[in-house]
Amino acid sequence: MEFPKDKRVVIGIGAGAAVLGGVLIAVLAMGGRDKTPEPPPAAKGGLEISVSETPNIDPSRQLRCFVNGQFVGMATLAECARRNGVATQALDVGLDETGNLVAAETASLAPPPVAPPPAEIAPSPEPAVDPGLPSSGPEAPVADAGPGAACLRHLGGEWRQLSDNLSLNACVQLLFAGRCERPGAAAYGRWGDTTLRLVPGRVEQQGPGGDFRTLVEQGRGCSLPPVR
């Protein structure tokens, strides 16, 4: 094999090879930079914890603990449950308005407001519309199938009648659809003689003996499926 005798040819070949090598290196370097590194788990949005996931919380993690609706300091999940006198599974766990993880026992909330005599019920200016719903929330429900009864909301220390004839489903949707409650907080309504309570993640109804039981679980965005 004969090599070119002209030194300019040799230099030209060498320069071309050097340029080609530089281009390849640049392409490889750029390709590596284009790959966005996987963000750490803590950077992937906010922390989301549901009541059902409560037992999986790090046992040594400190949470803001509430007893009877009052903040009592930082504590582990087990310690907060002990202060509330309940098992850890009975605690509602979630985020407060500042993004801190908090725990509270739903049953330790203040007793529900007593149903007033009809003469003491404050009429709503617009009974068919819930003034507390956000503008993006659902429209006031229309009476659907099922028995009808008066629908009331407890607001500002008094009962306000929203409608005098709604089904249970329509009343629950009107009172609580799209509403969220923080751990340790609750909102109340009534359908006929039944007291309704919204707590984190669910709507409850008061049964015999004054005990509350789950009526319907909330979905994403605190939405509510139809109550049957």
| pLDDT 10s digits, 108-156 | 667 788 877 766 666 655 444 443 444 344 444 444 566 889 999 998 8
Residue 199, C-beta contacts closer than 8 angstroms, at least 6 positions apart: 92, 106, 109, 181, 185, 186
Among 159-163, 210-214, 219-223, which is the least confidently predicted range?
Answer: 210-214
Phi, psi (rounded to 5 degrees) for 202? -165, 165
Give buried/exposed letters for 142-181 (b at 16+ CB in 10 A, else e): eeeeeebbbbbbbeeeebbbbbeebbbbbbbbbbbbebeb
Instruction: Give me 202's structure tokens.
Output: 């669910």
Shortest CA distance to 90 belongs to which of 72, 74, 78, 76?
78
Q: How many CA atoms lie within 13 A of 157 on its CB side?
A: 0
Q: What was the pLDDT predicted at 36?
A: 45
Task: Give per-residue pLDDT as tens, 171-195.
Answer: 999 999 999 988 878 899 999 999 9
d(CA 78, CA 60): 9
Domain extents in the chain: 46-107, 118-222
pTM of the model: 0.57
Cα distance between the two ends of the chain: 91
Task: Give per-residue pLDDT as tens, 7-42.
Answer: 554 455 555 556 566 656 655 655 555 444 444 333
